């Protein structure tokens, strides 16, 4: 595709200038006339029966306009399993349960009013780990399911499993087998812009929601259901998405606070804004799920993988979001990262009285890539094979169909392995720097690159509408949250249609103007938008060229006459029959309409704007026309059978390998990253600048996940709801060189060959670091984050003399 003009250019993002100037409007910056401020009264126990809620003092506070409890509002059931309620009636199941809410004329009054609400509880025993939740006689978090049927266990009725080949026979036949358990913590997405919404009803009872979301159309459906519960089934819902201060998965569900804003706005008859402060974001917005994974893998004497068996236990918390379906994505690396013929995957998802969890970038993938890639290094050691060679022996290849049924089309994994190995000087360094306490490690990833079908539709619509001046207005229902969707889409529309990027304007995401889209998740934004844009551009070009067939002779004749009037008639080439050009001979590039085989002279090309304006005044007898096209792209994928764990969920798969060099301070346990390299099969680079930015950011999140991020809790209470106690990487922490290599495999399913790349950055970082630590000092840390305390404890443990026959010694220092 050497003729690409805009795709592949490092153009600054189109919305960037406003962000730099402070002009961009986030939910934080928006006020509506008469707007009230909502605040929520949260539970004071992790598990308790509600005996009484007294709101009388709050109601008497001047400036309070509405006070709500479950007792005076219709029941709104929400969540993936509809096991959550906007306001809690009988009991609370987590510290962040919403018991009451107020709306007041300013945030301070709302805050005071919440403090005046008195709730009496009867505390109940709680369960705070998978083990506690599944113990005999454990208290039930939910006594019934959403339909009122009694529950007898805290285990959710969600099944994600896989069993292909004969894992047991392969295990017996394997020359080498390793097994170990790995733990990953709850982590906070930590968007710099906190969550918020404004709910507003108009005089007809229609709802307008300005909301920080990644799923405007699924949210519209959810809110419409809420309106139905309010007796407003015939009213419409419009969802408008302001600029997002980061998403990272937090917007994949509708949230309780949004429903409370709707209830308050309906009660008060005024717009109501609820905006989380940072401590609320930490304590009351769902983090990424924690998981414990037991993995067993085996290979033959030559290092060929024979089987893989994973058992995942996930602490769901008290309610169920889309994030509970992480195992749907875990199935992909479990079955399909490297060639492995026999795979068993078992998962259990369990209610506890911890905070309920939700999606975050990678959606289950990093949780199991840590065990898979750590275990692979262990297996390589057991087999006496270099970990790089182990990976090369088992690499996925184009044309593979994996046990899950994933059809691997293009696959740059082997090239990624080699690139990364070269960048970190693997052959010279691996196993050779222990005296320096330095080591290198690597880990790879597979991720969906062509959408991820975990819902009945994985489609996206787009509308392209041309104005009289050749500007393309793009109405697309996906969400720009910083990832660079608008930069990629601008280039793709310009390329596909034949206009300059400066003439592409992407409108605000709004359910009233944009066609349906399932949501911006699963690294699908640019892939889906691009494919839809190409379809719509093709339609629009047909419209333009049909019109050109009629108007081109008229406009060229005028141009020739003008040239004559200016005395330049002699410059106009003759012999070109411009009066009967068929539509198939036209082309459009950078906003100019021309005939492919016309002489190269200005009279023979027409600016798109001129062509479009002329359409209002067609030659006599011709109908006028408008220029707009819509298209809906649905990728050629399958919704997997989750119990069997089989189905080709994406139109293509993204592969990559990260390599890292670390130095471990054996006195303190500190891990210092010296260098990191990442080779990623992106299909096609749409914009090298925004692509690199997104990948760098993913790597930084991966470093945080690996080394320090953890939402700490004590019996369900979050202990570190701020950036001092919950550390995310600062500029000083990312002080090592990062080398990126983008491998272009030109995937036929992708727009211009591109694959989705939003999530991969953070997926392999933690296992690459864990493997490098092992190479440096010979200890394997199996639970994230890899804190200095854990490294030190493992080093001390390693130095204790082995005592044959004695029970496994415990570490001296407990992390």
Contact positions vs another protein (CB under 8 A): 10, 12-13, 15-26, 28-29, 189-194, 243-248, 277-278, 481-484, 689-690, 692-694, 696-701, 722-724, 728-732, 734-735, 738
3-state class (DSSP) for residue 302: coil
CB nearer to another protein: give 26 or 576: 26
C-alpha 730/C-alpha 500 separation (Å) is 38
- The nearest distance, CB 84 to another protein, in angstroms, is 26
C-alpha 651/C-alpha 388 separation (Å) is 28
CB nearer to another protein: give 279 or 546: 279
Return all residues near 477 (Cβ < 8 A) that are at least 6 apart.
216, 217, 460, 461, 509, 511, 514, 515, 516, 517
Contact 779, 791 (CB under 8 A): yes
CB nearer to another protein: give 490 or 782: 490
- The nearest distance, CB 246 to another protein, in angstroms, is 4
- The nearest distance, CB 709 to another protein, in angstroms, is 11
Residue 786: burial class (beta carbons within 10 Å; 0-12, 13-18, 19+): buried
- The nearest distance, CB 28 to another protein, in angstroms, is 7
CB nearer to another protein: give 76 or 114: 114
Closest CA to 187 of 289, 279, 276: 289
C-alpha 811/C-alpha 791 separation (Å) is 11
CB nearer to another protein: give 196 or 753: 196
- The nearest distance, CB 256 to another protein, in angstroms, is 22
C-alpha 94/C-alpha 660 separation (Å) is 39
Q: Using the CB atoms, write b or e for 607-646: b if 16+ within 10 Å.
A: ebbbbbebbeeeeeeeeeeebbbbbebbbebeebebebbb
Neighbours of 434 (CB within 10 A): 13
CB nearer to another protein: give 226 or 682: 682
- The nearest distance, CB 702 to another protein, in angstroms, is 9
CB nearer to another protein: give 450 or 729: 729
Q: Considering just the CA atoms, what is the radius of gyration of the chain in Å?
A: 29
- The nearest distance, CB 257 to another protein, in angstroms, is 18
- The nearest distance, CB 662 to another protein, in angstroms, is 17
Closest CA to 502 of 11, 18, 162: 11
| Helix ranges restricted to H, 478-573 | 485-493, 525-565
CB nearer to another protein: give 28 or 539: 28
Contact 754, 690 (CB under 8 A): no
C-alpha 41/C-alpha 64 separation (Å) is 14
Would you report the helix, strand and coil content of the chain in percent, each value rounded to 5? 30, 25, 45
- The nearest distance, CB 37 to another protein, in angstroms, is 11
Counting other chains too, the contacts that 698-701 makes at CB distance below 8 Å and 24 or more residues apart are: 698/361, 698/758, 698/759, 698/760, 698/761, 698/762, 698/763, 699/658, 699/738, 699/761, 699/762, 699/765, 700/729, 700/733, 700/734, 701/248, 701/361, 701/729, 701/761, 701/762, 701/765
Torsion angle (degrees, nearest 10) of CA 511, 514, 516, 517: -100
CB nearer to another protein: give 729 or 756: 729
C-alpha 393/C-alpha 338 separation (Å) is 9
- The nearest distance, CB 400 to another protein, in angstroms, is 32
CB nearer to another protein: give 459 or 729: 729
- The nearest distance, CB 517 to another protein, in angstroms, is 19
CB nearer to another protein: give 628 or 734: 734
Neighbours of 802 (CB within 10 A): 6
CB nearer to another protein: give 29 or 234: 29
Contact 244, 193 (CB under 8 A): yes
- The nearest distance, CB 241 to another protein, in angstroms, is 13
């Amino acid at each position: 595709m050497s003729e690409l003009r805009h795709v592949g250019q490092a153009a600054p993002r189109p919305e960037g200038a406003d962000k730099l100037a402070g002009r961009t409007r986030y939910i934080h910056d928006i006020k509506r006339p008469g707007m009230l401020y909502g605040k929520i009264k949260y539970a004071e126990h992790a598990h308790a029966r509600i005996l009484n809620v007294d709101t009388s003092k709050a109601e008497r506070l001047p400036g309070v306009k509405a006070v709500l409890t479950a007792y005076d509002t219709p029941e709104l059931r929400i969540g993936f399993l509809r096991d959550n309620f906007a306001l809690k009636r009988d009991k609370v199941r987590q510290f962040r349960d919403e018991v009451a809410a107020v709306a007041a004329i300013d945030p301070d009054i709302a805050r005071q009013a919440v403090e005046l609400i008195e709730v009496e509880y009867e505390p109940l025993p709680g369960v705070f780990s998978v083990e506690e939740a599944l113990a005999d006689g454990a208290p039930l978090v939910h006594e019934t399911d959403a339909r009122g049927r009694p529950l007898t266990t805290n285990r959710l009725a969600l099944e994600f499993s896989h069993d292909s080949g004969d894992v047991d026979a392969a295990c017996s036949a394997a020359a080498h087998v390793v097994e170990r358990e790995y733990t990953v913590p709850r982590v906070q997405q930590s968007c710099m812009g906190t969550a918020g919404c404004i709910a507003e009803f108009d005089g007809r009872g229609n709802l307008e929601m300005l909301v920080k979301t990644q799923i405007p159309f699924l949210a519209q459906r959810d809110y419409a259901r809420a309106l139905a519960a309010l007796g407003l089934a015939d009213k419409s819902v419009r969802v408008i998405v302001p600029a997002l201060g980061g998403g990272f998965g937090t917007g994949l569900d509708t949230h309780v606070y949004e429903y409370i804003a709707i209830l308050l706005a309906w009660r008060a008859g005024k717009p109501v804004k609820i905006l989380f402060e940072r401590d609320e974001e930490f304590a009351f917005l769902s983090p990424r799920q924690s998981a414990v994974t037991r993995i067993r893998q085996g290979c033959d004497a030559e290092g060929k993988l024979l089987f893989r068996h994973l058992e995942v236990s996930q602490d769901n918390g008290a309610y169920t979001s889309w994030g509970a379906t992480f195992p749907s994505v875990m199935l992909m690396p479990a079955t399909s990262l490297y060639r492995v013929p026999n795979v068993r995957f078992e998962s259990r998802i369990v209610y506890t009285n911890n905070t309920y969890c939700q999606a975050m970038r990678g959606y289950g993938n990093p949780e199991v890539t840590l065990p898979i890639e750590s275990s692979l290094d262990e297996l390589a050691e057991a087999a006496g094979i270099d970990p790089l060679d182990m990976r090369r022996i088992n690499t996925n290849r184009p044309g593979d169909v994996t046990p899950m049924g994933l059809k691997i089309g293009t696959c740059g994994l082997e090239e990624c392995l080699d690139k990364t190995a070269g960048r970190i000087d693997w052959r010279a360094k691996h196993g050779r720097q222990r005296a320096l306490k330095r080591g290198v490690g690597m880990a790879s990833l597979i991720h969906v690159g062509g959408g991820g079908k975990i819902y009945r539709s994985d489609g996206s619509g787009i509308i392209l509408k041309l104005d009289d001046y050749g500007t393309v207005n793009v109405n697309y229902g996906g969400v720009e949250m910083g990832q660079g969707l608008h930069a990629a889409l601008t280039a793709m529309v310009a390329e596909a249609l034949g206009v300059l990027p400066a003439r592409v304007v992407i409108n605000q995401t709004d359910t009233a103007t944009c066609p349906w889209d399932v949501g911006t998740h699963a690294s699908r934004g640019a892939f889906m938008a691009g494919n839809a844009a190409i379809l719509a551009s093709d339609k629009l070009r047909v419209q333009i060229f049909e019109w050109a067939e009629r108007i081109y002779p008229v406009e060229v004749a005028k141009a020739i006459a003008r040239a004559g009037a200016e005395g330049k008639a002699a410059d106009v080439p003759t012999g070109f029959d411009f009066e009967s050009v068929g539509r198939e001979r036209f082309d459009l590039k950078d906003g100019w309409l021309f005939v492919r085989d016309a002489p190269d002279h200005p009279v023979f090309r027409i600016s798109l704007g001129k062509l479009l304006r002329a359409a209002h005044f067609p030659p006599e007898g011709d109908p006028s026309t408008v220029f707009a096209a819509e298209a809906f792209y649905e990728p050629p994928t399958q919704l997997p059978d989750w119990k069997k764990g089989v189905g080709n969920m994406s139109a293509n798969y993204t592969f990559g390998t990260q390599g890292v060099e670390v130095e471990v301070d054996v006195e303190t346990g500190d891990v210092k990253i010296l260098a990191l390299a990442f080779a990623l099969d992106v299909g096609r680079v749409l914009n090298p600048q925004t692509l690199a930015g997104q990948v760098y950011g993913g790597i930084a999140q991966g470093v945080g996940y690996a080394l320090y991020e953890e939402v700490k809790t004590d019996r369900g209470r979050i202990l570190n709801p701020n950036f001092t106690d919950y550390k995310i990487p600062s500029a000083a922490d990312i002080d090592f060189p990062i080398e990126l290599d983008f491998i272009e495999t030109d995937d036929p399913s992708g727009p211009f060959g591109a694959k989705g790349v939003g999530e991969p950055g953070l997926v392999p970082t933690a296992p690459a670091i864990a493997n490098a630590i092992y190479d440096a000092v010979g200890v394997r840390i199996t639970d994230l984050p890899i804190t200095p305390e854990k490294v030190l404890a493992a080093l001390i443990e390693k130095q204790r003399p082995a005592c044959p026959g004695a029970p496994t010694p415990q570490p001296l220092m407990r992390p």
